[in-house]
Amino acid sequence: GFEGPLAFKVAQTLIDFEISSIPFQAFVEIERDGERVMLARIGYTGEYGYKVFAPVNVASSLWNELYEKVKAVKGGLCGNDALEIAMLEVRQPLQTRETRDLDVRSAGLEWLIDFGKEAYIGKESIDALMREKVGQQIVGFTAPKSATIMHNDRIMVEDQEIGKVVIARY
């Protein structure tokens, strides 16, 4: 996967049509060395993002080629920690960790729902949920480097616990 303000330029080299025609959260099938490869448009950090799904026999050479193209636009490698920090900056929750056991509203994901649609599966439940008061929410925060914050630490205001740390990144 690759993501960032110039990721679309790298992705464009894989297809022979305008990259902007791929809708967000959609994919296209391309051919690479006679193999079927999928190019998906994602975007976890508020920037353009793409993931490539390829069979193992073409994945390594394709990865090397894409990495050279990423470097050509002054990009580089980063790990999941960097991606998660960038997601925090745009308040994109980590669904596998932060939203576990939360409803869509408490998780802050209601912006993903098209409330203008007349009917969809779960519409009555979502409408009822939107009328309720939110009991808990996910909140991102930063702290000084000197702070030692760990997963599951309690968050206190005066003597009252108001939450817990779900994920912590340096």
Which 3-state string (H, E, C) describes the chain? CEECCCHHHHHHCCCCCCHHHCCCCCEEEEEECCEEEEEEEECCCCCCEEEEECCHHHHHHHHHHHHHHHHHCCCCCCCHHHHHHHHHHCCCCCCCCCCCCCCCCCCCCHHHCCCCCCCCCCHHHHHHHHHCCCCCCCCCCCCCCCCCCCCCCEEEECCEEEEECCCCCC
Q: Average the pLDDT over 27-40 and give the result.
A: 95
Task: Please give the pLDDT value at position 117.
Answer: 85
Of 38-42, 89-93, 104-108, 140-144, the range with the lowest mean pLDDT is: 89-93
Task: Please give the pLDDT value at position 159.
Answer: 95
Rounded to two decimals, the pTM is: 0.64
Q: Does the pLDDT of residue 96 top 70, yes or no?
A: no
* Band of pLDDT at residue 14, cut at 50, 70 and 90: very high
